Structure formats: structure tokens, C-alpha cells
Structure 1
Amino acid sequence: MVSLKDKIKYFFSASVYSILSSAVFVVLLFAVTLPSINSTARNGKNESIKVAIHNAYSMVKYLYDESQAGKISEQEAKTYAKNLLQSLRYDGKNYFFVSDKNLNVVAHGADPYKVGNNMAKYQDGKGTYLYKEFLKIGLEKGEGPLTYYRARKKESDIIEKTSYIKYFAPWGWVIGTGVYLDDVKVATFEARKSTLIGLMICVAIALGLSLWNAHSMYANFISPIKNVIRNLKAEYVELERIANNINSSSRQILDVSSKQTDSVDNVAAAITEIKSMVDSTRDNADRSSGLAKHTANTSNESKEKILRLVHSFDIIKKDNEEVIQVIRDNSIQLNDISNTINDIQEKTEVISDIVFQTKLLSFNASVEAARAGEHGKGFSVVAEEIGGLAKVSGESAIEIATIIEESTRRVKELTDMTTKTVENLVQVTEKDLLEGQKLMADCRDALEELVGQSMESSSMCNEILGALSEQENGIADVNTSINTLNESQWQLKSSQETSAREVEDLVKKSEQIKTAVEKLEKIAA
């Protein structure tokens, strides 16, 4: 049976050991936690600039892919990338810089006048050739951090600074950004100061409670210690419950933060795609506007040609009417010729009658000459000659009559055919001319409508271009907000991961407190 005196001695010994353990715990916590704070802050800085470089790299790669797809030229892609990195900012003031394999500055967000300068001999505050080291990291590792020392301003002291580099091989570009680490030291010092003060307060409170408990135990040991054990048990049970709830909530927040980070990345990619679509739409609108203007000009020219063609149709119609009239006049003249030939045929018949009468007279003269005997021989010769001439004249008259008859037939056929052909030609020509004039009028109306539509289309294209300019400004603002939100999400995720680890440590410590309380219960019993 342990005596009360032994229990009191045991209590005081336990109190001394508890105070010493608290002191050791404070020292160990101070030694372990504070370097972790400094390391966490530095890692947070490095992670933030790494994420920024990856985002900038993604934008450059997107422009490179656009040039490879033939949507823009490689020179345009480089110009867009240079201007983008020249103007891009994150966390308000941090910027990007780009150099090539020859250590020439391609873009510099803080000092544009450095663009084009060769930085082979550029050194930091401790003699490190920065741009050579940047190129070395890019060629050997592809990407990585570099710590060096620079002054914020020319007249100030050098400060530790860290940069992150990523090499874009297709163009031979070294893309980088950096941040100063003096604020990390300030934050670490403040954390050390706050932690030390808090720990000292905790130690003082623990020491005061131990002394008060010792004094109370000295007066009444058993009852108070059981009350303390009950209170501690209730507290550690509540602490365990709270720790588990915090752990669960922290994990949920971490999951939500991860999903939000993924969502922000998806939104950023969507914004980039939208910007590409807007640029493509702007190009199409420019081409459509130019095409509409060209169509309007071409339509006006076509309209003028149609008007000239209508005028030509009128001239053709007039000339055709004159030709038809000439053909009709020729038909009338052919009829006159036919009538003249008929008159000649009638005269030829008269000649045939005269020839017949001459033959008859010649025969009668021959008969009378034969009656006269010797006296009528001379007259007989004359009568024979007259008969021969009459025969020849008769044959000629027959031939003439035949020719005249054939000519009359041909002239009549030609006249009939010409008249019929002219009438058919007049009908067809008038029909074709009317259809041609109608078609020309329809073409003129269609071209006038096309001119109006082309002008309206050009006006609408100009309105679309104005709206696209406003959309581009809005997308630029959204892109800036997305980048800021992306940085915040990464910082929140890092903080949540740290909090989750600390909550797990809190759960473990509650288990340790539970074990200690169980031991106290055994001792108090």
C-alpha cells in the first residue's frame, strides 16, 4: 500500500519531470517547426514561380502549335509570344524574361530596353554569369530553379533571389521568372518571434498550473487529481473529436481545392481556345467584309455591262428590223422582176406569132415564085432566106420562152421562200429579243439586289469586327483574372496540404494525451 507521503513525493517528481518534459518539448518544437516554416515559405515561392513558368510555357507552345498548323506564320507566332511575355504579370508586379541560345534578350517585362542586348557577361552580386547559368539549366535539364543575389535597386544591398527556368526547344528560347526572398526571411522572423512568445506563454501557464496543482495537492491530493483526470479525459475526448472533424474538413477542403484548381486550369484552357476562336472569327470577318466590298464593286460593274448589253439589244433589234425591212423590199422587187419577166414572156409570145406569120408569108412567097418561073427565082431565094431567118427567130423565141418560164418559176419560188423565211425569222427574232430583254431586266434587278445585300453584309461585318474587339478586351481581362485565381488556388492548395499534415499531428498528439491520462488513472487508483 503506497502511503500518501509517497504519493505526494511521486506527484512532485512527476510535476518536475512534466515541467522538464514541457521545456524539452518547447525546445524541440522550436527547433523543428521554425526551419519547417522557412522551408515551407521558400518552397511556396519556388512552386508559385514554377507554376507561372509552366503557364507561360503553355501559352508559347500554343502559339507554336498554331504556326505549325498553318493558321499563322512562325514569325507572327514569335511576335505574339514576345509581346505576351513582355506584358504578362502575376502577383501584381512579377514579370517574365526570355533569352535565346546566343544569350541575347528576346523579351524582358521589367526593362524592355534590354531586348536585343547580349547578356553573356552579365553577372549577379556574387559574380555568377546568370544568363549562362540559365542556358545551362535549359539545355541540360530542360527546366529548373536557380538561386542568386541581386539588388532591388542600383544603390541598395544585394538580396537573395530565386528564378525558375524552362527551355522551349523549337525556338531555342530560355523562358524565366524570379522573385526576391527577403520577404521570406521577414515572415520567418515574425513566425519565430510569434512562436517563441506563444511557447513562453504556454510554458509559463503550464508552470503556474503545475505549481498551483502542487499546492492544491498538498492540501487535498486524491480528490483534486481525480477531478483533473476526469477533466483531462473529457478534454482529450473532445480534442480527439475536434481533431477528427478538422481532419475530415481539411481533407474535404483539400479535395475541393484540387477540383477548383483543375476547374481553373480547364477555364484557362477554354479562355485560350475562345481567344483563338475570336481571332479566327475576326480574320473571317475581315475576309468577309473585303469579299462583300469586292462583290458590290463587281456587281456594279456587271450592272453597267448589263445596261450596255440592254442598249446593244435595242440596237440589234433596230438593225434587225431594218434588215427585215430590206428583205421585204427585196421581195417586193423580186415580185416586180417576176412581173417584168411575165411581160417579156408575153412579148415573146407576140414574137412567136410574128415568126409564124413570117414563115407563112415565106411559104406563100415561095409558092408564088414557083408560079412565076424564071422571073420568080430571085424572089424565091429571098423568100427562102426570110423563111430561114423566121425559123431561127422561132427557135430563139422558143428558147427565150423556156428560159423566161424557168426564171419566172425560180423567181416565184425564191420570192415565196424568202417571204416565208422572213416571216419565220421575224417571229423567232422578236421572240428571242423579247426574252433577252426580259432576262437582261431580271439580271439588272438581281444585280441591284446583290449590290444592296453586299453593302448590308459589309456593314454587318464591320459591326461584327467592333463586337469582336470588345470581346477581345473582355477575354484579356478574364484571362488576367484566371491567372490570378490560378495562383491563389495553388497557394490555397499548398496551405491546405500543410494544414492537413498539422491536423494529423494533432490527432497523434491527442492519442498520446489519451495514453497519458490512462496512466494517470492507474496512478490515481
Structure 2
Amino acid sequence: MTTPSSSAHHGAAHRATAPARDGDMSLVNIAARQRMLSQRLVLQTVLAAGGSTKHLEAARSALQLFRDSQQRLQSTPEHLDSAAAQTIRAVYTGPQGVGPMIDAFVQQADRTLELAERRSPRTEEALSTLVDSTDPVLEALNKATSAFDQITRARSDSMMRELSAIVASIQTVAREAKVVSFNAQVMAARAGQHGREFAVVANVLSGITHEIDGLSLQAVSLAGRSRAAA
């Protein structure tokens, strides 16, 4: 009999081991996860072929997750710029594309699980074919992961260049504002009593330029850390 405490423990364990949703992951992480999923799928299928209902269900779950993730990865070109989209299409559907290899792996896994579920005598042969495809499909998934990593790095570099340009523009404006502030303070001093209100405005402008300097330095530091972590 299942006790409330054991049910709670099982639920916590399930949450701890449940895979992250695709929406919570970057494309390069999803592509990298496909390699792990392919290995999990093969292992669970091997165990399912031995008659384990539990591992049959686990293999089905891994296969569905693999399919869903792969569909998202292959639909990525719809959301990329033309150069990046061309890179991903070439990886999957070009002359040396990995798409057919990955599709064949999925179909073989599905076929093997169907045979295992029916306890067919052809299960062992199908399983052997699936296991033999492990290394080739890993190479295919590695190639796809490299392509997504290349695109991610290119995007990051582009964003860093844009950020650097924005910071440079801000610093230019800040320098010009300092000159205006200094001139305004000089003119206010010359105006004496009549320039007091003008002096207040000049001082406020001077304070703003100092804040801009601080923010631009923070942006430069952030850009440097992001580039180093890439």
C-alpha cells in the first residue's frame, strides 16, 4: 500500500528528475540534450526488450521528448535571419545533412518498441540495428549541436558590438553635456545674482553627466564579463 509520505517522496523524486521544458532552454542546450536523450532512449529500449513494462514506458517517454525537441530544432530556421537559417537547413537537409540519419534513428526506435511491446521474436534483430546506429546518430547530433553553438556565439558577438556602439554613443553625449554644464556654470558665475537659477540647472546637468558616466562604465564592465563567459 502506498502511504502519503511515500507518495510525496515519489512526487518529489519525479520533479527532481523530470527533464526541463524546451521553453526553458536555449536552442544549443536543447541540441546538446538530444545526445543524452538518444543514449537514454537506447538504454531504456534495451531494458524494455527484456520484458520490463516500466522501462517500455520510460523508453516511450524518452522517444516522445526526443521527437518534440527535434521538431523544434528543425523548425528553427523560421525564426532566424537568412544566414543562420541557411546554416541550420544545410546541417539537416543539405547534401551531408544529418536529418535523414536522425529520422531513421527515431523510426528504428519506434519500431523496436512496438516489437518489444508485442514480445515479437523480431525484437532482438530490431534492437541490434538500433544499438548499431548509436554512434552514427551521436555524430549527427554533435554536428547539429556545433551548428547551433556557432549561431549562438555569432548572435552574442553581434549583441556585444551593438552594446559597445550604444555605450560609445552615450559616452559621447555625456562628454558634450559636461562641456555644456561647464559653460553654463561659467556663465552663471559671470551673471552673479541674476545667474543663480541658471547655476542650479547647470549643477543638475553636471550631476546627470556623472550618473551617465557611472552607468556607461557598468555597461562596459557587463559587456566585458559577457564576452569572457562566451
- The reply to whether TM is greater than 0.5 is no
Which structure has the larger Rg over C-alpha atoms?
1
Structure with the largest fraction of helix: 2
TM-score (norm 2): 0.42
Structure with the largest fraction of strand: 1
